Amino acid sequence: MRAASYPAFALTAFQSRLVYRNQVWASAFGDLVSIFARIAILTAAFAGAAQVDGITLPEMVTYALLSGPLLYWEYSRVLYDVGDAVRTGDVAVFLLKPLHYPSYLLSTHSGHFAFECVAIVVPVALIVGFTVGLLPPASLFHGLMFFPYWAVSWLILFILACLCGLLAFWLLTAFSLEWFLMAIMSLFSGAIIPLWFLPTPLATLFGYLPFAWISYYPAAVYLGKLDVTATWLHLGIGLFWLTVLSAAVLALWAKARHRLIVQGG
């Protein structure tokens, strides 16, 4: 095995998506509809007010569009990919090859993500930007920092999906886990209600849980809601969570592998 095989997985995943072009149209259309629906709800909620709790309507619209890959990325693909491999025992096929399964997953799904960015996220952002209007980043610094935050956001989401998928090893169902993950995500990540609208104690608590890095922080940083120090600090905390969660996935994978080689799945 050589490291070059991992980019090859990413590229292959990217190419394989070209086969299902109709799915792209469907996803892009679905995302557009849901974003416009959210914008309509926000506009109604603001009811002509210049701002609510210090947040303007254009800021909210921008937030709705940028609150992370959660909205645009089909993380359930990871969950089912892992869950099915584990449930059917197909994961053994990966043990027969000289490769590291979690790294394989990461490269494959980064390929899917790259595809969805190019085919769905950017076009949707452009359409929304030209029709409703997007705010520019609060500053060059905030605009640049948005990218590492987005990467952390995607990685945390990817790892949470892997964790849930691996749990299928013991719980034998990926379906209920998907609902569980989705519920947690919409509650804690700030995807639906930004943390700044929550009561302070809740916002503080949620602000330290890893889910906030999925939706809330990338968009909040872009909008300049965190000052320079806080931006660096929270990137650090995000990376910390990333490390902890990666360790958890690797530990769970080691446990699953052990079970697989002793009990045969």
Partner 1 sequence: MAIIAASSVEKIFRQPKRQSGFGGALRSLFSREHTEVRAVDGISFAIEGGEAAGYLGPNGAGKSTMIKMMTGILVPSSGTVEVLGREPHSNRITNAAEIGVVFGQRSQLWWDLPVRDSFDLNRHIYDIPASRFADNLARLTSMLDMAGYIDRPVRQLSLGQRMRAEIAMALLHDPKILFLDEPTIGLDVVAKDVVRKFLAEVNRERGTTIILTTHDLVDIEEICPRLIMVDDGKLLFDGELRHLRTALGSRRRLKLEFGTDPGAITLKTAQLVTDEGLAKHFLLESQQTSILDVLTELGSGHDLKDVKLEEPNIEEVIRTFYQNKPALAGARP
Instruction: Give the interface with partner 1 as residue ranges (CB under 8 A).
Output: 1-2, 4-5, 8-9, 12, 15-16, 19, 89-90, 92-93, 95-99, 260-264
Q: Which residue has the tokens 């053994």?
A: 92
Pick what 12 binds: partner 1, ligand ADP, none; C-beta below 5 to 8 Å, kind-dependent.
partner 1
Closer residue to ligand ADP, CB minimum distance, 123 or 265: 265
Name the residue nearer to ligand ADP (CB basis): 147 or 170: 170
Give burial (CB, 10 Å; 0-12/13-18/19+) of 77.
middle
Q: Give min distance, CB of 243 to partner 1, in A.
A: 25
**Two tokens at 89?**
């025992």
Alpha-carbon gap, residue 258 to 34, rounded angstroms: 43
CB of 16 to partner 1, least distance (A): 5
Q: Which of 254, 71, 264 is nearest to 157 (CA)?
A: 71
Least distance to partner 1 from the beta carbon of 219, Å?
33
Q: How far apart are CA 172 and CA 165, in angstroms?
A: 9
Cβ proximity to ligand ADP: between 172 and 244 the closer is 172
56 backbone dihedrals φ, ψ, rounded to 5°:
-90, 165
Q: Which does 19 bind (CB under 5 to 8 A by kind): ligand ADP, partner 1, none?
A: partner 1
CB-nearer residue toward ligand ADP: 148 or 265: 265
Q: Is the dihedral of CA 121, 123, 128, 133 positive or negative?
A: positive
Find the residue with minimal CB distance to ligand ADP.
264
Which parts of this chain interact with ligand ADP (CB under 6 A)? 263-265
CA separation for the pair 141, 217 (Å, rounded): 15
> Closer CB to ligand ADP, residue 144 or residue 261?
261
Q: Residue 201: name its binding partner from ligand ADP, partner 1, none (Cβ under 5 to 8 Å by kind).
A: none
Which neighbouring-strand residues pair with 137? none
Residue 147 phi/psi, 5° resolution?
A: -65, -50
| Contact of residue 24 among ligand ADP, partner 1, none (CB under 5-8 Å per partner type) | none
Beta carbon of residue 78, minimum distance to partner 1 (angstroms, whole number): 16
Whichever of 54 and 98 has its CB closer to partner 1, that residue is 98
* Three-state secondary-structure class, residue 199: coil
Partner from partner 1, ligand ADP, none binding residue 23, C-beta < 5-8 Å depending on class: none
State the DSSP code for 71: G
Q: How many CB atoms sit inside 10 A of residue 42's CB?
A: 16
